[in-house]
A and B are shown apart, each in its own frame.
Chain A
């Protein structure tokens, strides 16, 4: 058993579409200890969600895992059959999706949908499951649980539904909760409530969380570690402090420059990242970020940079870091 709850090594995953192979994940490595919160940041299409889904064996058709190893809680996900995966899903690892409006089945009551997962993974009978469902609703801050259990999803607000989704996810006290942009579809005031609820529950239940988001503000306040993804690659991985105060990759720096800071004395201009994301059908040969990078070098256009360790838990893939090493080596 490794020291990590989640350990993804060199994961490669492609979608085989009619238009060609889309390399959605290209050599992704990540790890996470029990009880930690990992934030995965990146723009749309960078592979954040695909990474998380593959960990649950939920890769959508026509995607296929083509390389690397995924370990979770002592299971080697690669080697598991669908039947074995089913025992883990919703039990040891659960997920909250982005859009609570469409993630609940419209034709069944809330109670039915919560009890379903309890009955599936525990030995509780119907009455006990219902008790547990009530408990869960109280836990996620929904009042009048008895009444809510009998309601249908369309009778609840978006924030309520996301709370119900969290209740479903937590029903079997999972080791890991994956939150796929859990607040993107919600109003700003509700967003804060949901995030607060999640952190609260983490304290109470002690599970690890993978928080997928494109909102750096969310990760700064919640996460222990951050992985920055770009075009199917983790370009930088480190502790929250590493990423925010000592960013090494140009893309990470660009991201940080593009968010407003309230506590700065002088009002700096926000700097957007120029250019458009890469076309994943025809990815460039070198570093995918090179065409948009302010410090791009000749080598960046030709070759993919390797990872450079900055510390034990902080690494990044950028030729600038290799340049430093090369120059050191050259001097020696």
Chain B
């Protein structure tokens, strides 16, 4: 047996062998500070560079879509005569003349389209629509899905059976076909509804936009409902809930303290990952010409319009196409980061 050489060389004094006091002993116990689930998750999220960069991009895109257009010198439907089909940063003859006369003219960063509309503002408005669709649709899916899923799990028995069979059926429905059909079918009733008093806001938001929300609400909650149901079922049968019940905790307390705190991480993650898929579908619908209506742009419809002339004006296609890819990518990466940070199952 090799001796530990270090301690053999130690000069030991008799007082070293006096008993240590309790204080001395306690001072040595380095208790790692106990961190709450949220703090711990947040710390991990902040450490995740990819997720933070994605979050920054998302916020940046939001600023450009919701704030910048309100003080931008051009509007999305303003047609500037003589400035049709300009290349990025190019000025029309009139504008050049004004510049020469000493006036300042705001540049067209992305040029203009063939109707003389500033393309930069159109792309910003397009991403506003895309983000709106993503956020609102996911919120709707979250609400419907969690209510449906928890009701199903909570009541169990035949209620659960019937409700789950219904989701099974919706799951088998070819969703893209139904979405296209729904989007077309809802257009007219929505238009009529918009003329009724009290529903003018529909007109303001755009009929197609509303029908897209409805379509998402009707179809995409199924996945969410299944996730919520399985979470609630798992928790309902877990031992600590039984323990809490045995200790006399009320139903309300169990739901608040145990079910919600344990579900919420999964819900946030699923919702965040729902956003890009909603944006994806909206752009796809707009591309096929069934999305939002003219002159309102969405990134999909901008890209779709640009396809025919894209050999001559590739930037008209590339700008919205790249932006939508960037938005979806950022949401996906941020969602992945959230999942890594808040899903306790993946915690290492």
Contacts and interface: CB of A to CB of B under 8 A. Distances in A.
B3 interface: yes
A141 interface: no
A299 B19 contact: no
B12 A290 contact: no
A229 to B, nearest CB: 16
Contacts of A298: 15-20, 24
A10 B20 contact: no
A9 B2 contact: yes
B346 interface: no
Nearest to A278: B29
B8 interface: yes
A200 interface: no
Interface in B1-29: 1-4, 6-8, 10, 12, 14-20, 24-26, 28-29
Contact of B8 (A282, A295, A306): A306
A307 interface: yes
Interface in A317-331: 319, 322-323, 326, 330
B32 A281 contact: yes
B4 to A, nearest CB: 4
Given A295-B19, A326-B12, A330-B14, A301 B3 contact: no
A323 B17 contact: yes
Contact of A301 (B1, B15, B28): B28
B30 interface: yes
Contacts, number: 75
A304 B28 contact: no
A27 interface: yes
A284 B30 CA distance: 8
Contacts of B18: 297-298
Contact of B7 (A306, A323, A330): A306
B4 A307 contact: yes
B1 A291 contact: no
Contacts of B6: 303-304
A307 B25 contact: no
A300 B24 CA distance: 11
Q: How large is the interface on B (under 10, 10 to 19, 20 to 34, 35 or more residues)?
A: 20 to 34
Q: How large is the interface on A (under 10, 10 to 19, 20 to 34, 35 or more residues)?
A: 20 to 34
B1 A286 contact: no
A332 B112 CA distance: 100
Given A10-B2, A284-B28, A290 B7 contact: no
B30 A282 contact: yes
Contacts of B24: 298, 301
A297 B20 contact: yes
B32 A282 contact: yes
A291 B28 contact: yes
A27 B14 contact: no
Interface in B240-278: none
Given A298-B20, A304-B7, A326-B12, A291 B25 contact: yes
B21 to A, nearest CB: 9
Interface in A216-232: none
B239 to A, nearest CB: 17
B4 A291 contact: no
B4 A304 contact: yes
B142 to A, nearest CB: 31
B17 A29 contact: no
A27 B4 contact: yes
B17 A291 contact: no
Cβ-closest 8 pairs across A and B: A299-B16, A306-B4, A306-B7, A296-B20, A323-B17, A291-B29, A282-B30, A291-B25
13 contacts: A27-B4, A29-B2, A279-B31, A284-B29, A291-B26, A299-B16, A303-B6, A304-B4, A305-B4, A307-B4, A323-B17, A326-B14, A330-B14
Given A29-B1, A309-B1, 6 more contacts: A10-B2, A284-B30, A303-B6, A307-B1, A322-B7, A326-B14
